[in-house]
Amino acid sequence: MFKTPRGLKDILPEEISYWRRLEEKAREIFSLYGYSEIQTPVMEELGLFSRSLGESSEVVQKQMFIIKRKKENLVLRPEGTAAVIRSYLEHGFSKKEGFVKFYYIGPMFRAERPQKGRLRQFHHIGAEAIGSNSPYLDCEIISLSGGFLKEIELKDYEIKINSVGCKDDKDRFTSILKDKLKGKRKILCQDCQRRFNQNTLRILDCKSQNCKETVKGLNLKNAHLCSDCSLHFKKVTELLDKLKIGYSVTPSLVRGLDYYTRTVFEITHKSLGSQDALCAGGRYDNLIRDLGGQDIPAVGLAFGVERLLLAQRVRLKTQHPKIKAFIITLGEKAKEEGFTLLDELRKNKVSSETDYQNRSLKGQMRKASNLGVRFVIIIGEEELKEDRVTLKDMISGRQEKIERKKIIEELERCLGQIPVEN
RNA sequence: GUGGGUGUAGCUCAAUCGGAUAGAGCACGAGACUGUGGCUCUCGGGGUUGCGGGUUCAAUCCCCGUCACCCACCCCA
């Protein structure tokens, strides 16, 4: 027997209604905030991600699914932002319009070891606002994420924000940090010794008590921001206060992807265990230039759909329309007649079903009952002879014979009388 | 990539100290006067005990390997 490859999952019919609901809500909220949907392919050139996420990032180094072809290397996209920006540049949006807002929904792929809230194919709902460095936009996008969470009735989350500063700030801060830690490298944990070279800023976010103390002892304060970035961040927090959005400034919050500048934020949920981020995002003012465009600032975010579903206390479903009528037949002649009627019903937009397993009358009734249909149409020898069909209401249990040619009209009349629930 | 835990029917779980034909509930199917569902009752189908090796008279149970899943680290949304 074949199985889904490691870290990949089937989403079965029962489950999919929760997904649909979330997607509907996302579309609703994102358009409310002025974003339009964009879809990019699941594959991109390898270079797009090594350029944008950073050659040294773990995602690029170890986690990409690479598809080798004769002349090109493609990868299954590990995230959405770089792809959206590629599309933005490729289609000349930077020239047509000064400012655009996009959102996207789709699968992402990373070859990580699976655990709770972490799959190899996972799904993002993300948004990018491209073409403005206004702090109002940073605030808006955080507000948007709160709006969405409210809409899907997800509570008890926590918003953490920080500013990593502009490129110069990041570089300067990295070298200050390296400098101060140089003598203390040996006391750091193994992971941090590796981080020292690869991703120095992440040492600030280490969970080891020992490293935390060491970092504390460095007396770093908030000196890493230049005055512009500092002002920008101050404005963002003031605006958040104004909108009464609760957040905590978390200096240790440092994103692992290279492209982030200035504002970064993360929304976490305790119920998720160690993969606790529901949503993360931030500003990326250099990315567009790094990918060959002009100097255009942008800010974005992405939600993890699987994690949203895990964190929702009450999961909201979309109601799929129920089958309304079930045709029961007895004998081959009746089956043919029933099959024709079934076709007619569907052409009249009455969702209907019949038996394909040659069940007994009883079995067919049971099947109809399990499907939750309201009406059953029975065709047997008697009915054939009289050119009529039996129409049974499964709730009242009443049934009557109706002329064959009037059945659709009659059924529609009956369906019209019951209140519409879905 | 590292560490720990788990793997028995479609699902949730039993199986004594290593012992006989691996059980139950749910789900599924058939039946309870000849053409009528739900409730009840009866019966039934379904298992290479993840896979491969080893120890033993005997392995679901012990050991080794492997795969998968779960949890944590790492990483990240």
ipTM of predicted assembly, 2 dp: 0.83
Give the nucleotide at minimum CA-to-C1' distance from A365. B37
Give the nucleotide at minimum CA-to-C1' distance from A302. B77
Domains and their CATH numbers in chain A:
13-166+226-311 (3.30.930.10), 325-415 (3.40.50.800)
pLDDT of residue A265: 95
Give every CB contact of residue A382 below 8 A, 6+ residues apart in sequence. none
pLDDT of residue A58: 82
CB burial of residue A386 (10 Å; 0-12, 13-18, 19+):
exposed
A382-CA/B33-C1' distance, Å: 20
Instruction: Give the strand order in the sheet containing A121-130.
Output: A36-37, A100-109, A121-130, A298-304, A277-283, A261-269, A157-163, A248-249
Give every CB contact of residue A350 below 8 A, 6+ residues apart in sequence. A324, A325, A408, A411, A412, A415
Buried b (16+ CB within 10 A) or exposed e, A116-133: ebbbbbbbbbbbbbbbbb
Q: Is residue A77's beta carbon less than 7 angstroms from any atom in nucleic acid strand B? A: no
Most confident of A4-18, A307-321, A342-356: A342-356
Helix (H) or strand (E) holding A179: helix A167-181
Report angle CA A93, A98, A104 to the nearest 5 degrees: 50
pLDDT in tens, A220-246: 666 688 999 999 999 999 999 999 999
Q: Is residue A49's beta carbon less than 7 angstroms from any atom in nucleic acid strand B? A: no
pLDDT of residue A16: 87
Q: What average pLDDT does this structure show over A263-277?
A: 90
Q: Is residue A374's beta carbon less than 7 angstroms from any atom in nucleic acid strand B? A: no
Query: What is the band of A420 on the pLDDT scale with cuts at 50, 70, 90?
Result: low
DSSP 8-state assignment for residue A395:
T
Q: How far is CA A73 from CA A65, A79, A109, A254, in A?
A: 10, 17, 16, 30
Tokens of A307: 């994690």
Report angle CA A73, A78, A81 to the nearest 5 degrees: 105
Query: What is the band of A422 on the pLDDT scale with cuts at 50, 70, 90?
Result: very low
Give the nucleotide at minimum CA-to-C1' distance from A3. B68
Instruction: Tell me the longest C-alpha to C-alpha distance in chain A.
Output: 98
Report angle CA A75, A80, A82 to the nearest 5 degrees: 75
Give which of A83, A99, A2 is closest to A38, Cα–Cα.
A83
The mean of the pLDDT values for chain A is 89
Give the nucleotide at minimum CA-to-C1' distance from A280. B77
Q: Across the strands, what pairs with A303?
A: A125, A279
Q: Is residue A160's beta carbon less than 7 angstroms from any atom in nucleic acid strand B? A: no
Q: Which residue is nearest to nucleotide B2 (CA to C1')?
A: A113
pLDDT score of A354 more than 80: yes
Query: What is the band of A141 on the pLDDT scale with cuts at 50, 70, 90?
Result: very high
Angstrom distance (rounded) from CA A281 to CA A266: 6
3-state secondary structure A325-378: EEEEECCHHHHHHHHHHHHHHHHCCCCEEECCCCCCHHHHHHHHHHHCCCEEEE
pLDDT of residue A221: 65
Q: Is residue A266's beta carbon less than 7 angstroms from any atom in nucleic acid strand B? A: yes
Higher pLDDT pick, A295 / A194: A295
Q: What average pLDDT does this structure show over A381-400?
A: 92
A363-CA/B29-C1' distance, Å: 9
Angstrom distance (rounded) from CA A50 to CA A79: 12
Tokens of A213: 């103390």
Output the DSSP codes for A209-270: HHHHHHHHHT--TTTTS-HHHHHHHHHHHHHHHHTT---EE-TT---SSTT-EEEEEEEEEG
Residues 288-317 of A with CB under 7 A from strand B: 302-304, 306-307
Q: Is residue A362's beta carbon less than 7 angstroms from any atom in nucleic acid strand B? A: yes
